[in-house]
Amino acid sequence: MTGKFLLARALTGIFVVFAVATITFFMLRTLPGGPFDTEKKLPPLIKKNIEAKYKLDQPLSVQYLEYMKSLARGDFGPSYKYVDRSVNEIIRETLPVSAQLGIISLALAVFLGSAAGIMAASKQGGVFDFASVSVSTALVSVPSFVVGAVLIYIFSIRLRWLPPALWGHPENFVLPALTLAAAPAAYLARLMRASMLDTSRSLFVRTARAKGLGRFAITTKHVLRNALIPVVTVLGPITAFLVTGSFVVEYIFAIPGIGRFFVLAVSNRDYPLVMGITIVYTIVLVLANLVVDICYARLDPRIKLGRESAQG
């Protein structure tokens, strides 16, 4: 890992954040309705004073430059709907909750998905392989709010084992974490199975078998390590999605995370809050992809980063 590589990725990440912020800023302004358009219309003078307070009466180009100046200082500005709280305060309070849920869900997704994929590939054509493919296909196809509703009905209403909502205690983590991890785990299981089967047919695996290596050694040292590369590829966006929180899952289970505030911000046209959460999501995605690139080099020595790749 070279300094040039890290510098290049840092500059690329800054450009991506800048591009996403610019696109989101202008897209929000083109949507019909405004942040202060309510069912009960405000008197024109009051609405004019509010817009002047938040500088919405200025030309769009001026608003954009002012926002980018604030963003460069790490200031996302005030919330239009939560007048006593800034966007920075809301993100600072809610992001740890979403990150906690996301990390638990990521661990479950990676463990369950990888284990199911490996076992299905090792028992190709068997009962477990058929069941694994069927269940994973169903979980990928079913929306998360349906999975959450089914889990609440079974474990909260019928069995009364787990609470149906809220956050803060270990028992509150189980249902939302399982709901959030279900689709990624199913996708990872299918990807791991396909990658394992494809790698097991490679020439170097056949050579290892010809040399007399045992099945366990071939699977762990040759097949599994190479099969992980496609799986690691998708872990970047999956990690960003899970760590920043699922909007639907947080809303269903009444979790005070960043996703729930995002849903409310969109419906309320709270421009600064939508911008702030979108930018945070982008930063997490950029960092997750950087970790994926580093893992590439660890899993496959043929993949070089930085100066070595340019010379190769």
CA dist 240 and 68 (Å) reads: 24
CA dist 13 and 8 (Å) reads: 9
DSSP labels, 221-290: IIIHHHHHHHHHHHHHHHHHHHHH--HHHHHHTT--SHHHHHHHHHHTT-HHHHHHHHHHHHHHHHHHHH
| Token pair recorded at residue 196 | 């394992």
For 250-294, how does the pLDDT look when each residue is reduced to its tens digit (9 = 90+)? 888 988 888 888 888 888 888 999 999 999 989 988 888 888 777
Whether the per-residue pLDDT at 26 is higher than 70: the answer is: yes
**DSSP three-state, residue 51:** helix
CA dist 255 and 263 (Å) reads: 12
For 99-151, how does the pLDDT look when each residue is reduced to its tens digit (9 = 90+)? 899 899 999 999 999 889 888 888 888 888 888 888 888 888 888 889 999 99
Q: Which of 239, 196, 220 is nearest to 109 (CA)?
A: 239
Would you state the pLDDT for residue 15? 92
Q: Are 268 and 35 in contact (CB under 8 A)?
A: yes
Give the HSE-up count for residue 305: Cα atoms under 13 Å, Cβ half-sphere: 20
DSSP 302: T
Q: What percent of the chain has pLDDT over 90?
A: 27
Whether the per-residue pLDDT at 304 is higher than 80: the answer is: no
Q: Does this model's pTM top 0.75?
A: yes
Kind and range of the H or E run holding 17: helix 3-30
Q: Which of 86, 64, 60 is nearest to 75 (CA)?
A: 86
Phi, psi angles (nearest 5°) of residue 86: -90, 165
The domain segmentation of the chain, as residue ranges, is: 87-311
| Token pair recorded at residue 33 | 């309705």
* Class of the CATH-defined domain 87-311: mainly alpha
| Token pair recorded at residue 239 | 């990690």
Q: What number is the average pLDDT over the span 30-44? A: 72
SS3 for 157-225 is HHCCCCCCCCCCCHHHHHHHHHHHHHHHHHHHHHHHHHHHHHHHCCHHHHHHHHCCCCHHHHHHHHHHH
**DSSP three-state, residue 86:** strand
Whether the per-residue pLDDT at 31 is higher than 50: the answer is: yes
Q: Are 98 and 152 in contact (CB under 8 A)?
A: no
C-alpha to C-alpha distances, 173 to 108, 240, 258, nearest whole angstrom: 12, 19, 16
Please report which confidence band the pLDDT of residue 308 belongs to, taking 50, 70 and 90 as the band edges. Answer: very low
> For the chain, how big is the Rg over CA atoms in Å?
24
String of b and e for 116-149 (b: at least 16 CB within 10 Å)?
Answer: bbbbbbbeeeeeebeebbeebeebeeeebeebbe
The torsion region of residue 77 among left (phi > 0), alpha (psi -120 to 50) and beta comes to left
For 200-233, how does the pLDDT look when each residue is reduced to its tens digit (9 = 90+)? 877 777 777 777 777 777 777 777 777 877 788 7
For 143-182, how does the pLDDT look when each residue is reduced to its tens digit (9 = 90+)? 888 999 999 999 999 999 999 888 888 899 999 999 999 9
